[in-house]
Amino acid sequence: MPLRIDVPENFLNLFHKIFENEPVENGNKLNLFSLKISNNAFSYADLVEELGDILTAYALSRSTYDALCSQKKYTTLVSKAKERLRKAESNDGELGEILLYTMLEAHLKAPKLLTKLELKTDPNHYVNGADGVHLLRIDDNTFQFVFGESKLYADLNDGLKEAFKSLKNLLKEDLNKLRYEIQLVNSNLLKETQEDESVNLLKKLLIPRENDEDLNIDHSFGIFLGFDVEITEDERKLTNAEFRKTVYDKVKKAVLTILPTIKKQIQQDDFRGYNFYIYIVPFSKLAEQRKKIIAELKK
């Protein structure tokens, strides 16, 4: 790969894989992962610990990250990353953006080119466009720019529809939004990347006139959906084994219910010729937990 992957594959050990690379509509991929369950609760503490280690690579450009690491300025590295997060009280989306990044790197093996967070000059500033852009190598001559979209909605169906609505907006030709995203990658990454091999390949992929080889580049979409799974008091009283089975079955049923909607969304004329990599993760008390997690990461 021209760029390194910063999220290790063992990050996925936090999750129980209910579906993995399940084919949906035209060979697209659906993944349903649940945080592992311990003592009848999702293991949020383990997730926070792992995300704390990953945040610096996500939030900062590679040049900033590498420069601070080489100077052994680890405290500065961490504080700069945390500064970019919005306050937990007003932070509804950044957890989804971070988890999208982790899935695209650790599972899809598509290293980031750019994330929304690293573009921020102010933690309260909102950056429009894709939540991230990643590069996926299909074979020696074929690559995909993966444009990310994340939604955390209590209702899975609502989150799904909003995600595809946002992606459709990216594809509006009159707005040239995908081209703008590529230009962002071009201006922010090429000026910083020091590895000659990486620079040469990225130039060929990002700048048409530089592509003197038979390299093919397509666009695809990575989607992360978080949703709320209701857990009753009676369910919390179950044995550990019964509780795990009950929750995993409930989550699986919720996703199978919206499977026709996923297929219908992908079938839209706007999305013909595009690949989708979809990741779904359930939460309990989503509105509360996502703020707690961001608050922990900002400590």
pLDDT digits (tens, 9 = 90+) for 174-219: 556 777 777 777 766 655 555 566 777 777 887 777 666 788 889 9
Measured CA angle at 110 (ends 106, 115), to 5 deg: 95
Residue 88's pLDDT band, with cuts at 50, 70 and 90, is: very low
**19 versus 126: which is more confidently predicted?**
19
How far is residue 186 from each of residues 44, 174, 196, 294, measured CA to CA in Å?
Answer: 36, 21, 15, 30
pLDDT tens, residue by residue, 228-286 = 999 999 999 999 999 999 999 999 999 999 999 999 999 998 899 999 999 999 999 99
Q: What is the mean pLDDT of residues 130-141?
A: 90
Residue 23's pLDDT band, with cuts at 50, 70 and 90, is: very high
Alpha carbons 97 and 85: distance in angstroms, whole number: 11
Residue 120 confidence (pLDDT):
57
Residue 78's pLDDT band, with cuts at 50, 70 and 90, is: confident
Q: Where is average pLDDT lowest: 84-88, 209-213, 272-276, 288-292? A: 84-88
Alpha carbons 150 and 162: distance in angstroms, whole number: 9
Residue 86's pLDDT band, with cuts at 50, 70 and 90, is: low
Instruction: Annotate 12-33 with b (16+ C-beta within 10 A) or e (fewer).
Output: bebbeebbeeeeebeebbbbbb
Q: What is the mean pLDDT of residues 101-107?
A: 97
Q: Where is average pLDDT lowest: 14-18, 24-28, 92-96, 131-135? A: 92-96
Residue with tokens 């909102």: 126
Classify residue 119 as exposed, middle or buried by CB count within 10 Å of its CB (0-12, 13-18, 19+).
middle
Residue 110 confidence (pLDDT):
96
Instruction: Annotate 271-299 with b (16+ C-beta within 10 A) or e (fewer).
Output: beebbbbbbbbbbbebeebbbebbebbbe
| Res 82 pLDDT > 80 | yes
**89 versus 218: which is more confidently predicted?**
218
Residue with tokens 């074979």: 139
How far is residue 117 from each of residues 50, 214, 224, 268, 279, measured CA to CA in Å?
Answer: 18, 33, 16, 30, 20
pLDDT tens, residue by residue, 45-55 = 999 999 998 98
